[in-house]
Structure 1
Amino acid sequence: MPYFENAIRKMLPTKYRRKHVAHDMYVAVVHFQSLVPMMGRHVYNDGTTKNLMSLTGTIPVLFEDETYNIPVCLWIEASYPQTAPICYVTPTSDMMVLSGKYISSNGEVMLPYLEDWKKGECDLVSLLQVMVVTFADSPPVCMQPHPEPEEAPCWLQFHRQAEVLPKTDGSLYMNLAGEDGLPFQQENETNC
């Protein structure tokens, strides 16, 4: 058994089918090297939580001739491989979920492959390959739209940096620079 596969096996709680799960996770990580096996706290839709093993990271998806790294998390329950993993796209803070036919608004992946999961016929690598193909046709995330820079308020667009300067007689005058940075002069200037 490869060292990394053995390390995964040691991470798994005894309630898992450790040998089988460790092997499937190892094969998945060999094919999708950005994924990392880890234990974590999964929160179910009803609010209950459970410590589960997961594969977390990114999968490369080709969309319009560009490769994008789509962040995912596959939660693997102790009943695996009898039951399918619970899969999510996990957008970063500058991304947002694009809900649709195969993605819920909270990022849960709902593929026919998961719904029709059969022990002995389905595995993590095949699931990830199905996700790659599906996400290439229908991306599950996109970048958050950045708001357009706001136009400066009208009064600020014409605001010039003014300097208040002392005159030799002790009074003050205001020097207003024009767009060219030179003092603004008009024919009928007055001293106040």
Structure 2
Amino acid sequence: MTSCNNAIKKMLPKTYLRNHVAREIHVALIHFKDLVPLMDKYTYNDGTTKVLMSLTGTIPILFKDMSYNIPICVWLEESYPQSAPICYVKPTWEMMILQGNYVSSNGDILLPYLQEWKQGKCDLVSLLQVMVATFGDLPPICMQPHPQPAQASCSLQFHKQSQVLSRPDGSLYLTLSTEDGQSVPQGNETSC
């Protein structure tokens, strides 16, 4: 337990409250095993960037008696735990964000717990538990709908509109039909 805590502490720049932040991250990783701590570049809305600690991965939710993994990223600024984490839903390419009361169209997580953040009363594990409970009631993502093809593939159309027949001499030939089912004239047959 201490070695993991120390490894996290070594990742954190000295500008963080290293002991406190490392301990909170360690406890979060015990409860949420699919999250990974990373130091990475965060880009603010004004375009400025800063290397911050993040927890990235998935949290498990239960929705309509089915288990799902919600991809998230939780950023901890150097002022953490005085300031609330910056949290996002991070859908994969096959998912789409469901904008709602607690998630914006770009994936910002807007929970009251974050808006009412108070140092000493709020912590990382509780935040993740609130996400699990909230997203279990209303998931923030869904799978992208796959558009139905407007028409069948060429191969399927070809098979529907063709037929292999045999001649009396045993040779095979392919007949083609038009879209309305009429045979294409004999001159267009192909011998096999």
Contact 2:161–2:176 (Cα < 8 Å) also in 1: no
SS in 1 for 2:37: strand
Question: d(CA) in 2 for partners of 1:73 and 1:30?
Answer: 17
SS in 1 for 2:75: strand
Residue aligning to 2:180: none
1:95-131 deviations in Å (ceiling 9; x for gaps) = 0111110001110100000000000000000000000
Larger radius of gyration: 1
Residue aligning to 2:129: 129
Identity between Structure 1 and Structure 2 (%): 59
SS in 2 for 1:114: helix
Residue aligning to 1:116: 116
Question: d(CA) in 2 for partners of 1:191 and 1:142?
Answer: 50
Q: Which runs of 5+ in 1 are unaligned?
A: 164-173, 180-184
Which letter does structure 1 place at the counterpart of 2:161?
H
Residue of structure 1 aligned with 2:161, choices 145, 159, 162: 159
Q: Does 1:72 align with 2:72?
A: yes
1:155-181 deviations in Å (ceiling 9; x for gaps) = x46532789xxxxxxxxxx932479xx
How far does residue 147 in structure 1 lie from its aligned partner after superposition? 1.3
Which letter does structure 2 place at the counterpart of 1:21?
V
Which letter does structure 2 place at the counterpart of 1:144?
Q
Which letter does structure 2 place at the counterpart of 1:34?
D
Question: d(CA) in 1 for partners of 2:35 and 2:187?
Answer: 74
Instruction: Kindly report structure 1 stretches of 4+ aligned residues shifted beyond 3 Å.
Output: 156-159, 188-192
Residues 95, 19 of structure 1: CA spacing in aligned structure 2 closer, same or farther, 3 A cutoff?
same
How far does residue 66 in structure 1 lie from its aligned partner after superposition? 0.5
Counting matched residue pairs gives 176
Residue aligning to 1:145: 145
Residue aligning to 1:34: 34
- Normalised to the residue count of structure 1, the TM-score between the two structures is 0.82
Residue aligning to 1:8: 8
1:64-96 deviations in Å (ceiling 9; x for gaps) = 000100000000000000000000000011101
Residues 123, 190 of structure 1: CA spacing in aligned structure 2 closer, same or farther, 3 A cutoff?
closer
- Mapping of residues 76-87 of structure 1, within 5 Å: 76-87=76-87
SS in 2 for 1:130: helix
Question: d(CA) in 1 for partners of 2:91 and 2:85?
Answer: 19
Question: d(CA) in 1 for partners of 2:86 and 2:122?
Answer: 14
SS in 1 for 2:162: coil
Question: d(CA) in 2 for partners of 1:191 and 1:48?
Answer: 67
